[in-house]
Amino acid sequence: MQSVAMGWLILTLTHNSLIHLSANLALQYLPMLLFGVYGGVVADRCDKRKILYCTQASAGALALVLGVLVSTHHATVPAIYAVALALGVVNLFDVPARQAFVQEMVGRDLITNAVSLNSVLMNLGRIIGPAIALAFIALVGTAACFYANAASYGAVLIALALMRSSELNPIRRVSREKHQLRDGLRYVSHDVLLRDILISIAIVGLFAFNFTVTLPALAKITFHETAANGYGAEMTAMGIGAMFGGLYVAHRQRPSVRLLSTLAILFGLFMTGVALAPTIYVAVILMVPTGATSIAFVSTANAMLQLNSTEQMRGRVMSLYGTAFLGTTPVGALAVGVIATLSNPRVAMLVGSILTLATGLALGALLSHRANVASDAAAASDGTAPSPA
């Protein structure tokens, strides 16, 4: 609800300026880009549940501030920018703590299932949220969306309080030492699998996951639709698809690089279809498989990072995931906004889809190359000559 209301509010205040819309989105993720790994260090050192108490309460307070600004007619672009930046600081600590807390709740064996089900629940919100937000905007105004979001954090805090500590699976916290930032970066750089996954997420996150910029622009500028008929319908269709994509990944016990590669290729292809859609109706239909493959890709990458990293490095690895996926948004959102302004929203979306498709193909090529190397090494150890291939 807040995402829809905030994007529409910016467009209304700036007379459909995509640059302002992109800048607002960028500010929400700038702290993650600049200081993301530090948030992971804090997550590894501290009680993740206590971190979540602080971050969730802060996010609720910021939603309340947005509601008050709109209600009192003080919602200016600089004021919204300030709230967006503050929300970015909250996310800097919230994302790695929340991601690493998954294992404490369910244990290592259920990480893939838990991450995917979390995506399903989030995207159920994407299905319901836009419809409620648009109804609120039409009937009682934009401020109601922010007040509803602020109130919802009360439920989150209650849920955290009701968790029984005896049933959690605590991860051993690391002591405060020097060079922990550097150690985390070195750990990932020396692990080929983790490094490749993070690079892939960074490319896709940078150019493809800018839907809060591309979708309202596509609806309003390309198809000349209203919020209800355009942006809301696109977001709802994406949420429906994402729900099914999350459920698909949830039933898989062990994610793989091959699956990640396939999902990236499909995501790129369906996103290309949305960019080239002749009508809003075709775009909305194609947003269903786009949402499914996008969330399946993100959930698979998330689970692979958690399963293939040590407990002591989990917070730092997931902070790098946050930096790659969310922290790249400031650059990506501005780039997409500029491309859409200089050309049109279709071109901006096509850039992201083509690079996503290329990422999937590159992952597949790397997987094939490593399989060949392993096969040749095994043949050499057996004393047989490697195949010419």
Fold assignment, 2-163+180-372: Growth Hormone; Chain: A; (1.20.1250)
Per-residue pLDDT of the chain (389 residues; tens, 9 = 90+): 888 888 888 888 888 777 787 788 778 888 887 887 888 888 888 889 999 999 999 999 999 999 999 999 998 899 999 999 999 999 989 988 888 888 888 887 888 788 778 777 776 776 677 778 888 888 888 899 999 999 999 999 999 999 998 888 877 776 666 667 788 888 888 888 899 999 999 999 888 988 878 888 888 888 887 655 677 788 788 888 888 888 888 777 678 889 999 999 999 999 999 999 999 899 999 999 999 999 899 888 988 888 888 877 888 888 888 888 877 777 887 788 888 888 889 999 999 999 999 999 999 888 877 766 666 666 666 665 554 44
Pick the closest to residue 49 from 177, 173, 203, 146 (CA basis): 173
Rg (C-alpha) for the chain, rounded Å, is 21
Q: Where along the chain do its domains lie?
A: 2-163+180-372
- d(C-alpha 326, C-alpha 91), whole Å: 9
DSSP string for 216-262 = HHIIIIIS---TTTTHHHHHHHHHHHHHHHHHHHHT-SS--HHHHHH
